[in-house]
Amino acid sequence: MAVNLPPLPELHPVAGIRLGTTAAGIRKKDRRDLVLIECAPGTTAAAVFTRNRFCAAPVTVARAHLAESAPRALLINTGFANAGTGAPGHDDALACCAAAAKRLGCRIEEVLPFSTGVIGERFPAERILAGIPACIGALSPAGWADAAHGIMTTDTAAKGGTRVVEVGAARFAVTGIAKGSGMIRPDMATMLAFIATDAGVAPGILEAALRSAVEGSFNRITVDGDTSTNDACVLLATGRAPGASIEQARGPVYEAFVRALQEVCDELAQAVVRDGEGATKFLTIDVVGGSSTADCLEVAYTIAHSPLVKTAFFASDPNWGRILAAIGRARIARLDVNAVAIHLNDVCIVRHGARAPEYSEAQGQAAMRAAEIRLRVDLGLGGEQARVWTTDLSHDYVRINAEYRS
């Protein structure tokens, strides 16, 4: 059950973007599972992909195509990840791109493929090929909500974020959708995220803005510590909004765009965690007082990935010794255990590396029973800090993943 996940908002259309979704029967019948996003000519694009070296065939093809040309279409399927499928999987991804390109009247290099689902099984390319005409027939500027549902796998709800920005005479939208629920410890982005704006943004600025937004959002979440073979986050800028042209990394329009992009990415990233497989708690882990941001992140992720810590949160058990143990094994060069302080929400449980004199078990249990918990660790070593969002680890996480292919 998702933790305080808001319903899908009304997603503002982005001038120059149309989306079409269909149920192609790729893995399950009567389920939306194929999405095509059409981009107007002149659209600029930036993307970040998984750092998993066993990356999927569509990741390899999308990288190569993006290096050749700006995209005219993105083709996304669920059900099968097309990862670990060797040369046949690569050929399948190219065949799907070729079919979409032929229908749209563009070059194959202008189509970027994306897949999510079961790893190691070849997907039924013929079902995707058969579904492409239906996607094209459904293309609409208002197709964002259907597309958000069409990219889901184990997600319990569709995820989207949107902003309309007005700066002087400029008015533009930033709208995005994402999917992800398990196999989440992004090493670049979430499993799949697609964001678009009708502002005109120069390619170099677009890429820098995306990387900065991803670093503060998708690269700060984890559900289970697993990085997918298929992670991808794409940002499209159509340039169709009058007066919203960004050619330099400064000025009010640029600043408003960067702010809106960060807000949408934050919203999508947090939605992925709130919908984490089997999650009953949404945890914000703040590590402050570090010697470096990298050290703070190492401590935060060590806590977030500890099964003992995560199961304690699931049980609402303030077993804070597990948190201390996780901090102690974090791979940082320097740690003064006598300087460490820990808070659960507003409750101080550890001060100077030991139980706070005023702390009581009842206070800890009350804090742990909340659906949303902030764990704050002060290392007492410096002025750096970092934040990570994660979940607890429940019985349902095990059940969902044990039954994933059934």
pLDDT at 1 over 80: no
* Parallel/antiparallel/unpaired status of strands 17-22 and 34-39: antiparallel
Q: Say whether 241 sits in a helix, a strand or coil.
A: coil
Q: Where are the alpha helices (DSSP H) in 216-286?
A: 252-274
Do 51 and 75 lie in one domain? The reply is yes
Q: Which residues contact 185 (CB under 8 A, 6 or more apart)?
A: 221, 222, 223, 224, 225, 226, 227, 301, 305
Of 274, 306, 334, the residue that ends a domain is 274
Q: Which residues contact 382 (CB under 8 A, 6 or more apart)?
A: 289, 290, 291, 292
pLDDT digits (tens, 9 = 90+) for 294-349: 999 999 999 999 999 999 999 999 999 999 999 999 999 999 999 999 999 999 99
User: Is 136:97 a contact under the CB 8 Å cutoff?
Assistant: no
Distance (Å, whole) CA 102 – CA 304:
46
What CATH number did the domain enclosing 288 receive?
3.10.20.340
Do 39 and 186 lie in one domain? The reply is yes
Do 290 and 385 lie in one domain? The reply is yes
pLDDT at 129 over 70: yes
User: Is 70:43 a contact under the CB 8 Å cutoff?
Assistant: yes
Do 313 and 364 lie in one domain? The reply is yes
Do 149 and 247 lie in one domain? The reply is yes
Distance in Å from the first CA to the final CA of the chain:
20
What CATH number did the domain enclosing 227 receive?
3.60.70.12
Do 297 and 231 lie in one domain? The reply is no
What's this model's pTM, rounded to 2 decimal places?
A: 0.96
Do 268 and 366 lie in one domain? The reply is no
What are the angstrom distances between the C-alpha of 349 and each of 297, 361, 362? Answer: 21, 9, 11
Task: Name the active-site residue from 50, 85, 190, 227.
Answer: 190
pLDDT at 378 over 70: yes
Give domain status of residue 361, yes or no: yes
- What's residue 334's pLDDT? 95
Do 382 and 299 lie in one domain? The reply is yes
Do 102 and 202 lie in one domain? The reply is yes
Do 294 and 250 lie in one domain? The reply is no
Distance (Å, whole) CA 185 – CA 401:
16
Give domain status of residue 7, yes or no: no
Do 125 and 252 lie in one domain? The reply is yes
Distance (Å, whole) CA 360 – CA 213:
40
pLDDT at 406 over 70: no
Please compute the mean of the pLDDT values over residues 272-284 and round it to a whole number: 96
Q: How many domains does the chain have?
A: 2
Looking up tokens 């003064």, which residue turns up?
A: 336
**Can you give the residue range of the structural domain that contains 164?**
17-274
Distance (Å, whole) CA 303 – CA 322:
9
User: Is 398:278 a contact under the CB 8 Å cutoff?
Assistant: yes
What are the angstrom distances between the C-alpha of 265 and each of 8, 88, 93, 189, 332? Answer: 15, 34, 27, 10, 29
Give domain status of residue 329, yes or no: yes
pLDDT digits (tens, 9 = 90+) for 344-369: 999 999 999 999 999 999 999 999 99
Distance (Å, whole) CA 136 – CA 156:
26
Share of the chain above pLDDT 70, in %: 99
- Return the structure tokens found at 343: 């808070």
pLDDT digits (tens, 9 = 90+) for 240-252: 999 999 999 999 9
Sheet (strand 354-355) strand order: 354-355, 347-351, 341-344, 372-378, 282-290, 384-391
pLDDT at 43 over 80: yes
Give domain status of residue 8, yes or no: no
Of 249, 274, 299, the residue that ends a domain is 274
Give domain status of residue 4, yes or no: no
Give domain status of residue 1, yes or no: no
* Parallel/antiparallel/unpaired status of strands 111-115 and 73-77: parallel
Q: Is 284 marked active-site? A: no
